[in-house]
Amino acid sequence: MPIASVSAVTRVPVRDDLSALEGYHSPQVTVRVRLNTNESPFPPPESWRRAFSDELAAVEWHRYPDRSASALREGIARLHGVRPDQVFVANGSNEVLQTVLLTFAGPGRTVATFEPTYQLHGHIARLTGATVVEGERAADFTLDLAEVHRVLGAHSPTVTFLCSPNNPTGVVDSESDVKATLDLVAAGPNPGLLVVDEAYGQFADFSALGMVNDDVPLVVSRTFSKTWSMAGARLGYLVGPTWVVDELDKVVLPYHLDAAKQIAGRLALRFVDAMEERVQFIVSERERLSAAMGRLSIDVVPSGANFILFRPQGRGGREVWQGLLDRSVLVRDCSGWPRLADCLRVTVGTAAENNRFLDALSEVMA
pLDDT tens per residue, range 207-223: 999 999 999 999 999 99
- Reply yes or no on whether the pLDDT at 347 is more than 80: yes
**Exposed/middle/buried for residue 102 (C-beta within 10 Å: 0-12, 13-18, 19+):** middle
Please give the Cα distance from 297 to 366 (Å, whole number). 9
**Angle formed at CA 364 by CA 359 and CA 366, multiple of 5 degrees:** 90
φ, ψ dihedrals at 241, nearest 5°: -60, 150
pLDDT over threshold 80, residue 4: no
Across the range 160-184, mean pLDDT stands at 98
Instruction: Specify the pLDDT at position 23.
Output: 58
Q: Is pLDDT above 80 for 18?
A: no
Please tell me the predicted confidence (pLDDT) of residue 22: 66
CA distance 258 to 166: 30
Question: Would you place residue 2 in the very low, low, confident or very high pLDDT band (cuts 50, 70, 90)?
Answer: low
Lowest-pLDDT range of 27-41, 113-127, 226-240: 27-41
What pLDDT does 26 receive?
A: 61
pTM of the entire structure? Answer: 0.93
Residue type, 107: P
Ranges assigned E (strand) in 184-275: 193-197, 218-223, 236-239
With bands split at pLDDT 50, 70 and 90, how would you rate the model's confidence at 5? low
- Asked if residue 238 lies in contact with residue 221, where contact means CB atoms within 8 angstroms, the answer is yes
Nearest of 48, 46, 29 to residue 37 by alpha carbon: 29
d(C-alpha 355, C-alpha 4), whole Å: 64
Compute the CA torsion angle 342, 343, 348, 352 (nearest 10 deg): 10
